[in-house]
Chains A and B, each alone.
Chain A
Amino acid sequence: MLTFAMQAAFLLFSIALLLNVWRLVKGPSTPDRILALDTIYINSLALLLLLGIWHSSTFYFEAALLIAMLGFIGTVVAAKFLLRGDIIE
């Protein structure tokens, strides 16, 4: 049962990632693309956590935490650049 649930979760997150990539390519405006990138890093973080369960390894959590921090900083910096035309004033 657990193997089936893991495969189903992998499939669901992969479809979600494909939809995000579609929005990233299509997105009519720049905030759409930033939002798609934000969702992509959150979904890939969840995929890393799933991989950690699949391999029974705790080494993936540090990578997931790093992705969370750097992705948040990237989103904030990109939105700030759109808003002010500059990052550090």
Chain B
Amino acid sequence: MAELPFWAECLITFFLILGGSFALIGSLGLARLPDFMTRLHAPTKNTTLGVGGVVLASITYFSASSGVSLHELLIACFLFLTAPISAHLLAKAALHLELKTISATQDLRSHPGPFSSAENPEISTESADNESTQEIKSSNQN
């Protein structure tokens, strides 16, 4: 590593520790949370922010050592654009597979929340239809 002025070292240290902490917290959430829907939250937000911290540290380092360099921003922009898309597709896949959830994770398709039932009565009737079909299914199983 090259010799840098003191303010640049302070800034790079701050960004590195920030990014590393964010990445560690995101991976800890991925390992510890009880449910896929809760597990989806931790890495998709925190790990992206961790990479953002490392990218800012890299931009500061190369700008302080040799001229302005901004091409690391490409990686940060790409990750910030693509992380929500992959999280959305994974959530759709999990809904399709109907994974096991903890009781605090509510499925709004079968239990419509206060907003949907108050404002859209159609949704509540649809859910009633779903419940009746579920009852039919369960009776068939019995």
- Give the B-binding residues of A (Cβ under 8 A): 1-6, 8-9, 11-13, 15-17, 19-20, 22-23, 28-32, 34-36, 38-39, 42-43, 45-46, 49-50, 52-54, 56, 58, 61, 64-65, 68-69, 72, 75-76, 79-80, 82-83
Given contacts A39-B27, A46-B54, A56-B1, 20 further A-B contacts (CB under 8 A): A2-B1, A16-B24, A16-B28, A19-B28, A20-B30, A28-B100, A31-B90, A35-B90, A38-B86, A39-B26, A42-B50, A50-B54, A53-B12, A61-B75, A65-B74, A69-B78, A72-B85, A75-B86, A79-B86, A79-B93
From A5, A20, A38, contact of B17 by CB (8 A) = A5
Residues on A with beta carbons closer than 8 Å to the beta carbon of B83: 42
Is the CB–CB distance between A2 and B97 below 8 Å?
A: no
Q: Please tell me which stretch of B58-66, B110-118, B121-129, B132-140 contacts chain A, meaning at least 4 of its Cβ atoms lie within 8 angstroms of it.
A: B58-66
From B9, B23, B39, B74, contact of A43 by CB (8 A) = B23
Task: Encode B90-105 as 1/0 by CB contact (under 8 A) with A.
Answer: 1011101101100000
Is the CB–CB distance between A53 and B24 below 8 Å?
A: no
Is the CB–CB distance between A58 and B62 below 8 Å?
A: yes
Residues on A with beta carbons closer than 8 Å to the beta carbon of B23: 12-13, 16, 43, 46
**Chain B interface category by residue count:** 35 or more
Is the CB–CB distance between B93 and A12 below 8 Å?
A: no
From A6, A35, A49, A69, contact of B1 by CB (8 A) = A6
B78 vs chain A, min Cβ distance (A) = 5
Is the CB–CB distance between A61 and B71 below 8 Å?
A: yes
Is the CB–CB distance between B2 and A9 below 8 Å?
A: no
